[in-house]
Amino acid sequence: MNAQGSCSDIQPVEVTINPTPSLVITDPASVCSPTTIDITDPAVTAGSTLGGTLSYWEDAAGTIAVSDPTAIDVSGTYYIMSSLGSCSDIQPVVVTINATPSLVITDPSAVCSPNTVDITDPAVTSGSTNLGTFSYWEDAAATVAVSDPTAIDISGTYYIMNAQGSCSDIQPVEVTINPTPSLVITDPASVCSPTTIDITDPAVTAGSTLGGTLSYWEDAAGTIVVSDPTAIDVSGTYYIMSSLGSCSDIQPVTVTINSVPGFVVNDPASVCTPSTVDITDPAVTSGSTTIGTLSYWEDAAATVAVSDPTAIDAGGTYYIMNSVNGCAAMEAVNVTINASPTFVSISNNSPICSGETATFYVEGTANAYVAYTIDGGSSTQVQLDTSGQGSISVNNATSDVVVNIISIDNGCTVVVGQNSTVTVNPLPSITSVTNDGPVCEGTSGSFTITGTPGSEVEYTLNGTPGSVTLSSSGTGSVPVANVTVDQNLELSMITNLSTTCSSTVGNSSTLSVLPLPTASISAQSSAVCLNGATFLDFSGTPNATIEFTDGASTYQVQLDASGSYTNWATPDLTVDTTYTLVSVTSLTTPACVQPLGDNVTITINPTPSISDLVYSDQICNGTSTDISFTLNNTTSYYWSATIVNIDNTTYVQGGDETVAINQVVNLQDLLEVGYITVQITPVLSGGSCSGIEEEFTIQVNPMPDPANIDINIASVSVCSGDVVEVNISGLPTGMDFNWVAQTSGLSTTGSTSGTTDSTISLPFTVNDPMQSGTVYFEITPVLGTCVGPVIVSDTITVNPIPGSILEPTVAPEICSGEIVYDDLDIYVGYPNITGVEVYWEVQDAVGVTGALPGNTNVLPAEIPDQLFTTSDSQGYVIYKVWTQLGSCMGEIKYITVYVNPLPEPVLEDSAICVEQVSGVVYQTTILNAGDFSGGNYQFEWFMDDGSGPVSVATLSNDSTLEVSEAASYYVVVTNLDTNCEGISNTVVVEETNPATNIVTTVTDAFTDSATVVVTVSGGNNGDYLYQLDEESLQSSNVFTGVSSGEHQITVVDTQGCTFLQDTVTVIDYPKYFTPNGDGIHDTWNIVGLNATDNTKIYIFDRYGKLIKQISPEGEGWDGTYNGHPLPSTDYWFSVEYLENQVVKEFKAHFSLKR
């Protein structure tokens, strides 16, 4: 319509909306080249609507047509357009054409058994393209997998498959393993020169297999040919090689050609009976060139064997035969054995006293020499006479004498080893003489003598002789009694009553005697007033302490160096008192005490006093005092007054009984209180003694004046139930205030009138909860008996209290992360007065965060806090909530909001174990959401393989899921009791292929620190852990410091998919052995050698002579040669062995210990 003013025109218009086709594209399945893809296949556009005309393009703009959409041979994104009239829809389609891998196989080189072939070696597939995953098979159909492609030990045709995605190529590979001949060597028997040995003798190689061609060499490398292997005439190690095609085996053979021994015999030294001669001593055959097996005979024909050649006890000629490898030589040896002397006894003249001569008596073989020592000194000889007697003397002996008989000799020496001791008793002695002095005159004392226990001591005491016997502890006592002069003790002789030995002594000691002290007492004044005091004076022995008493208490004074003490002040006395001397003690050690009885008496005069004292303690300004009292024991007194804020021009401040004490009082400052402090003292005529002073204070109050009074009201507007507080102050200080409360519309629980010195505090409540009330106070000031005029206060308004919060009937309960108002609305009860607000504070929060204070004037009120728990236990927040109208608060209520924790599932990345070739899952994994025991939970598991999460399981009270498919996973856990749910982290479960083989390499044999290196092949998990025997797992594949012997190597991966084990042997040798038949180290052998390598061990003595050839698999060497035990010494060995397919030779020595 087109309108202008009141005129218009309207015309029809046609609208055409054509339908647009909708394309649904399904990408075609991927293929392997050279296969092509047809994107015109109806399956690609299945599900599309409106059936438009289809066209195919290389770009999204539809400008470049696909040349042949039925046979696309290049991967990429193409586009299909559906056209219907002028409307169209264009969508992408993804074409995937995977390259087919190409295998190029190079057959591995042939090897000799027992070596194996590794067809996983990259050289076998060198030149191949589009490398994917290799697998190894025994057949072209790939149905039988090679058990260990890294160590094939049988010749034949095998197959290698190269797979990439769904595309693969399989090709044959030829493995050739040639047989290796095996040599078994038996060393030929030894011979004596000049006989030769034939190592071509079939007996030497009997037991060898595969019948190879034999050759003979001087070295293990097979480079020097033996010139004549049928007639070898030099001892040593030779080598025999067995060759079969390109494979061979070479082993050592030991040739031993012994020479005829050269033999020298030396006669042993003569001995004395009962000693014997050992003709097996190496010194007897010293100088011989070769020692073999020795035997010992009584005749040159070697028909009678010596029964014990190590202990011959009869002189004569004997014979020794030396046999070496069947060759023997015999020589004579002469043995000489002489007779020995006899020692009979030794005695002495023990005991003796110190300083006397010690004599020893010796008896033995006549004319023999006896060797001896005195007290361990140098050796000395004495010759026995023809009767076999002798003596030894030691003059002036002061301690025990010990003679040790060493030996007796008459050409043959016999060790005796006897000893004899003369006991030398010491002379008795005095250690000390002491006394317990000084002592006081008239007391007792004693002397103490210490010395040799059990001895008698002779002495004189002040010239009088006496004796005392010392006890078993060596002490004796000489007492003295009632002494008056010094006592002197002198010692003369001490005799040991047990040994009768005695000594002259001269020790002495003097005991000092102290005289008794003296003292006297006097008073400076013999009479005092009641409660008066005087001074006492004392004299006597200088520095002495005097003890005296007043009959009730005891006192002490110490005299000075001149013997006096003056001006000792008595206490204030109330009765006649006598002071009596008790005793005097001297300042000596010990202190001497003398009892005394001297005394002095002090008398007391009568005391005047005041009674019936009457006065007013408060008066008003301008009035007179009214003091009255009675005098006792006197008619005289004197008085004084101390004034504060009193006009001293009109008030007299003191005098005696002749001056008037009552006067009119005027204040200096009319706003301050005044004070008069009066003191009245009674006295005897003449003033010799004064009575007890009476003191009192009269307060002079000013008249209260309203102009000097302030009334302060804390607040002129309060809340119903609050306390109204009025503070009153002013001058003069010390006033009280009488008050009356005048109210309107109010009630109070207290009195409406009273008296205060500063504050009126009174609670008021409105009569109508919706209306205010008022109150004011009438106040009268009072100071003592002085009353001021009435004062009226300001009026105070009392406001009503708003209604309180209505508590919820059920405690609110939310989940962690929710907002409080989701489960709580706060309502206000009666009276709900317009303008009321709701306030809240956090009273307590346990296990919850996010709670904050706040307020609102919107009803019902809502708390906007978002609360979170801090643990896996339920928490709570206690809100303190109240209403407020102006400054008036309603009743405080406490609302508890419970916050339930969200379940917190936590997953860990894991892996499933998949066999690499077949793709079979042989070990699943368990995903665990955590410990949810003790509750009621539901677990919904989701899997995402790249196309979006899909629910795969819903379980009740089971927090685990067994997984057998690689993908991403997460779990939603719902607490069915609280309806709170938590979502876990997303984890990835990966495919892990186990390792298939381990290879161990051992280096550094025959050391204390062998090294084992472990190499792992196969699998796609490089996180391996390695274990030696039962030790802890380690991440390193190298073990160092490995001890000799057999060990087990274990390899696992961190995902638990790999478990491989291998056994390795470390070679070493014992450094000693002890062939004593105790079952411990009785034989010697090398640990860890492989006997299948035909390893031989050769043992030599220190001269290089071959003692024994042993096998590492045998029992070892027992320390004998031709059945005879060899001596304890060092022996040498040599051994050739294989280490990592390398021939090595090792030489060292070890010890034989017996």
* pLDDT value, residue 260: 66
**Per-residue model confidence (pLDDT) at position 241:** 87
Give the per-residue SS3 of 403-447. Answer: EEEEEEECCCEEEEEEEEEECEECCCCEEEEEECCCEECCCCEEE
**Amino acid 528: pLDDT:** 80
Identify the pLDDT of residue 208. Answer: 82
Residue ranges of domains in the chain, CATH in brackets? 31-98 (no CATH), 111-178 (no CATH), 191-258 (no CATH), 271-338 (no CATH), 343-425 (2.20.130.20), 430-513 (2.60.40.10), 519-605 (2.60.40.10), 609-701 (2.60.40), 706-799 (2.60.40.10), 805-900 (2.60.40), 910-992 (2.60.40.10), 997-1066 (2.60.40.10), 1072-1152 (2.60.40)
Q: How far apart are CA 1072 and CA 1129, in angstroms?
A: 10
Query: What is the C-alpha to C-alpha distance for residues 465 and 491, in angstroms, rounded to an integer?
Result: 10
Q: Are 563 and 541 in contact (CB under 8 A)?
A: yes
Q: How far apart are CA 352 and CA 543, in angstroms?
A: 61
Please give the Cα distance from 998 to 993 (Å, whole number).
15
Question: Is residue 897 within 8 Å of residue 881, measured between CB atoms?
Answer: no
DSSP string across 245-282: TTEEEEEEEEE-EEPPPP----PPPPEETT--B-TTST
**Res 1008: pLDDT:** 67
Helix, strand or coil for residue 706?
Answer: helix
End-to-end CA distance of the chain: 135
Q: How far apart are CA 586 and CA 908, in angstroms?
A: 98
For the chain, what is the largest distance between any 2 Cα atoms, rounded to a whole number of angstroms?
188
3-class state of residue 204 by DSSP: helix
List the structure tokens of 728: 């009153």
Nearest to 747 by CA among 759, 760, 761, 762: 762
Report whether the peptide linkage leading into residue 274 is cis, meaning its omega lies within 30 degrees of zero: yes
* Residue with tokens 């035969």, as numbered in its chain: 321
Rounded Cα distance between 104 and 92, Å, is 38
Give the contacts of 830 (CB within 8 A, at least 6 positions apart).
Answer: 769, 803
Enter the tokens of residue 414: 């016999």
CA 642 to chain centre: 80
Query: Does pTM surpass 0.75?
Result: no
For residue 1146, give the nearest of 1061, 1088, 1074 by alpha carbon.
Answer: 1088
pLDDT in tens, 252-304: 999 888 776 778 889 998 888 888 889 888 888 888 877 878 888 889 888 98
User: Is-contact 894 880, C-beta < 8 A?
Assistant: yes
Cβ burial of 213 (10 Å; 0-12, 13-18, 19+) is exposed
Which value, to the nearest 10 degrees, does the dihedral of the CA atoms of residues 717, 723, 724, 728 take? -140
Residues in the chain predicted with pLDDT less than 70, given as ranges, are 1, 5, 50, 210, 260, 325, 686-688, 1005, 1008, 1022, 1090-1094, 1139
Query: Measuring CA to CA, how many Å separate 55 from each of 61, 83, 388, 737, 749?
Result: 12, 8, 149, 113, 101
Return d(Cα 827, Cα 820) in angstroms, integer. Answer: 15
What pLDDT sits at residue 658? 84
Are residues 398 and 375 in contact, defined by beta-carbon separation less than 8 angstroms? no
Identify whether the C-beta of residue 200 lies closer than 8 Å to the C-beta of residue 217. no
Burial class (CB in 10 A: 0-12, 13-18, 19+), 532: middle
Task: Give bridge partners of residue 390 from the DSSP assignment.
Answer: 362
Question: Does residue 710 contact residue 728 with C-beta atoms inside 8 Å?
Answer: yes
> Distance between CA atoms of 602 and 1107, rounded to whole angstroms?
129
Cα–Cα distance for residue pair 1051/995, rounded to 1 Å = 9
Map tokens 């009959």 to a residue: 551
For residue 249, the model assigns a pLDDT of 83
